[in-house]
Amino acid sequence: MPSPFPGMNPYLENSEFWHDFHERFVPKLAEAITAEVRPDYFCKIDEHVYIHEMSARERLIGRSDVSVKSDEWSSHGDQTASTTAPARGRVSESIDVERINFIEVRDRSNREVVTVVELLSPSNKSGGDRNQYLAKRRSYFESRVHLVEIDLLRGGPRLPIDETPDCDYLIMVSRSPMRPEVELWPINIDEPLPVIPIPLRDGRDEAIINLQIQFEAVFEAAAYQDYIYASSPEPPLSDGQRLWAEQTLERDTLK
């Protein structure tokens, strides 16, 4: 069953569902891009790794007290030592490792990365992980690699872009020859996801990807309609958006 919303489904932004959606959407997008760029290019899925310290968990590390007693050296050179029993401790898991997939489009002839496609996650947009992602982003901007950045999250501050339009979702395409200028696709919650270009080598070619078609394929394959509506969207919708979403779901149930 397709999503009842014309574009992004705001219920998937809930933290309970986002990671699953991200892990399904990225391979589907890579599959669609591959169909457009082969045989001269291929897609490879790689991952960012974020390590979070879990301060809320108890972390107890036991350190045994050891004492060594030595007698006076005897005339025969004998020495006696004794060791006390160790104290008991416990080591709890203190870190959480988060892996976030992204897509590399590579030139088949030399294996060089031509384009990177990122579907942003909450970790990319806030906290210490934001700085880590921004450093990676800067490295793309300083290279010949094109960057396609897809932000389907209303929550969290937008990543730095001059004159960012007021919108719910945003897609950026940064072509290396055009920097610092970028192309933007602002999207509101009641609009379909756009058709976007995936730039390739030196701007001579590009793949054209319909994001809405890929989204619908993932939504139906995952059967999200069976369970995501028991939770509320995160972050909360505005009053107008909430009324619109409720009416949209109500119309869908009447079909």
Residue 234: per-residue pLDDT: 93
Query: Got the DSSP string for 95-111?
Result: EEEEEEEEEEEEETTT-
User: What's the pTM?
Assistant: 0.81
- How high is the pLDDT of residue 96? 63
Q: pLDDT of the chain along its 255 residues, tens only? A: 899 999 999 999 999 999 999 999 999 999 999 999 999 999 999 887 767 565 544 333 333 333 334 444 444 445 555 566 777 766 555 666 778 899 999 999 999 999 999 999 998 998 888 999 999 999 999 999 999 999 999 999 999 999 888 999 999 999 999 999 999 999 999 999 999 999 998 766 899 999 999 999 999 999 999 999 999 999 999 999 999 999 999 998 865
3 dihedral zone (left: phi>0; alpha: psi -120 to 50; beta):
beta
